[in-house]
Amino acid sequence: MTDPAEFEAFMRSYQNMVYSTAFRLTANHAEAQDIAQEVFLKAYERYDSIRDQPTVGGWLRTVATNLALNHLSRYRKRWSFFSDLRRSNDEGEEGPDFEATIAAPDSREAAGADHRDTRELLEEALAKLPPLQRAAIVLYHFEEMPYQDIASKLRVSLAKVKTDILRGREALKKRLAGRLDELDFNPST
C-alpha cells in the first residue's frame, strides 16, 4: 500500500519536469496538465517498484513524452485540417495559418515582452510552431533523440523529421529575431 503523503512528496519533486515535457510537445496548458496527471496515475500504480530507482526521473520523462506523442498523433488529422486552411493576400502569396487568425490574444504579451525571462520566450515561440515541427524540435533539442528515433516515435519518414526540424528552426529564428543571443539557443545546430 502506497503512503499518500510519501507519494505526494514524490509527485511534487517531479511535477515541473513532467509538466514541462508535456507542455513543450503539446503547447497547450490544459493538455499538458492532463498528460501530467496521467503520468502520475501510472507512477502511482507502479510506485512500490519505482520509488527507489535512480532512473525514476528518466522513466517519468519517457512516459510523459510517449503520452504527449500519443496525444499528438491522435489529433493530427484535426490539426492538419486547420493548418491547411490558409488565407491568400492580394499578391497570391500564402497568408498566416487559419489558427493564428482566430487565436485569442495572449495576455502575457500585453504585460511587456521585455520583462519575460528567456525560457518563457522560447516556450512561447515553440508553442506557435505547427505540432509536428514542435514535436521534432523538442525531441531533438530537449530530449536529444536521434532523427531515426524521432521518425519512429512520430510515425513519419526520416525526411519529414529533417524537414520539420529545419522549418521549425527557421520559424523559431524569425519569431525570436534579436533575442537568440539572450536565449543562448542556436537553431542552426
* Structural domains of the chain ordered from first start: 4-74 (1.10.1740.10), 105-183 (1.10.10.10)
Residue numbers of the chain with a pLDDT score lower than 70: 1, 75-118, 178-189
d(CA 119, CA 48): 35
Whole-angstrom distance between the N-terminal and C-terminal Cα of the chain?
48
Predicted local distance difference test score (pLDDT) of residue 99: 37
Our CA dihedral for 73, 26, 39, 152, rounded to 10 degrees, sits at 40
For Cα atoms 36, 157, 155, give the angle at the middle one, nearest 5 degrees: 35
For residues 185 and 122, the answer to whether their CB atoms sit within 8 Å is yes
d(CA 140, CA 167): 13
Predicted local distance difference test score (pLDDT) of residue 103: 37
Give this prediction's pTM.
0.60
Length of the chain: 189
Predicted local distance difference test score (pLDDT) of residue 176: 80
